[in-house]
Amino acid sequence: MLNITDDIKQLKRLIETKAQHPYLLKYIQKPSLDEDKLILLWGLFNDLDVTSEKRNQYIISTMLVQIALDTHEIVSNSGEGIESPEVLKNRQLQVLAGDYYSGLYYQGLASVGNVDMIRILSSAIKKINDNKIILYQQGSINDVPTLLMTIKAIEASLIHKLGEYYSEPAWMELSEDLLLLKRLHVEKSSYMKSGQSIVFDVLREMPFDDSIGGEVPISEKEEQVRSQFDKCLWDARQSVERSMRKLAKLDDELLERVKAILEQTESIANSYVKEG
């Protein structure tokens, strides 16, 4: 049995070394690494009959894709008027960095001649970008199930496509449910701190049953949105618990991380139990 703690540390070092570019790091922040996705990838490949060399190559390549997507995501599109040369250069380098990380993933898989993996990850990238467009395009999502499926596609398509290729439905399901729950926590935190959240924005556009008969006051509508969001959190939490039971064994570190994310919804869960 592989040791997840040592493996994750080693994989992080390899990914960070691979992604390091001295010139880019002079002007943009160090690329962030989503450890939860890294741990989920480790769990998936740990259940497969692949060599540690191939496993590391596939995980590193997948995480480089994730870094590229995250880097492109934070490029600011909110500049007003004429941008200063410094701001413009920063934005251009941010885009260039995302392209650079994408190139690294292609290079890594091409070097070992794995065309199938390139095809799988390319398909996942397309699905992620398609769903990002759906999420941000006003009026394109009209119900909660579609909203949640869109978020799942954005957050978990890389792992989902790999799980699909290797016929690992339990890992596909856990990854989707856990990463949905994690994203909802991020959106709730953003909303509480700044009032800004794309998920809350989409929910505000949806009609509620008691709003069909007429206009609902803004304060009441916002309360409905918050209530609907918390229900999404509660439902997502239950889905994670169901998904966990479908995996016969979970490494202790992965299990602890899942529990930590679940604990963030404990108060919401308790409130729903009392109301029920």
Q: What is the tens place of the pLDDT at every residue in 144-166?
A: 999 999 999 999 999 999 999 99
pLDDT at 264 over 80: no
Q: What is the DSSP string of 216-251?
A: --HHHHHHHHHHHHHHHHHHHHHHHHHHHHTSS---
**CA 74 to the chain's CA centroid:** 14
Give the pLDDT confidence of 197-221 residue by residue, as tens digits: 999 999 999 876 654 455 667 788 8
Query: 120 versus 31: which is more confidently predicted?
Result: 120
Note the pLDDT of residue 94.
Answer: 66
Q: What is the mean pLDDT of residues 167-192?
A: 94
Q: What is the mean pLDDT of residues 72-101?
A: 62
What's the whole-number average pLDDT of the chain? 82
Q: Taking a C-beta distance cutoff of 8 angstroms, is the pair 111, 54 a contact?
A: no
- Which of 63-77, 98-112, 136-150, 246-260 comes out lowest in average pLDDT? 98-112
Distance CA 209, CA 227 (A): 13
Distances (CA, A) of 126 to 11, 32, 87, 168: 25, 21, 29, 21
Q: What is the DSSP string of 174-206?
A: HHHHHHHHHHHHHHHHHHHHHS--HHHHHHHTS
- H or E, element range at 47: none
pLDDT at 21 over 90: no
pLDDT-above-70 percentage for the chain: 78
Distance CA 237, CA 5 (A): 25
Note the pLDDT of residue 53.
Answer: 86
pLDDT at 184 over 70: yes
Note the pLDDT of residue 228.
Answer: 94
- What is the C-alpha radius of gyration for the chain, rounded to an integer number of angstroms? 20
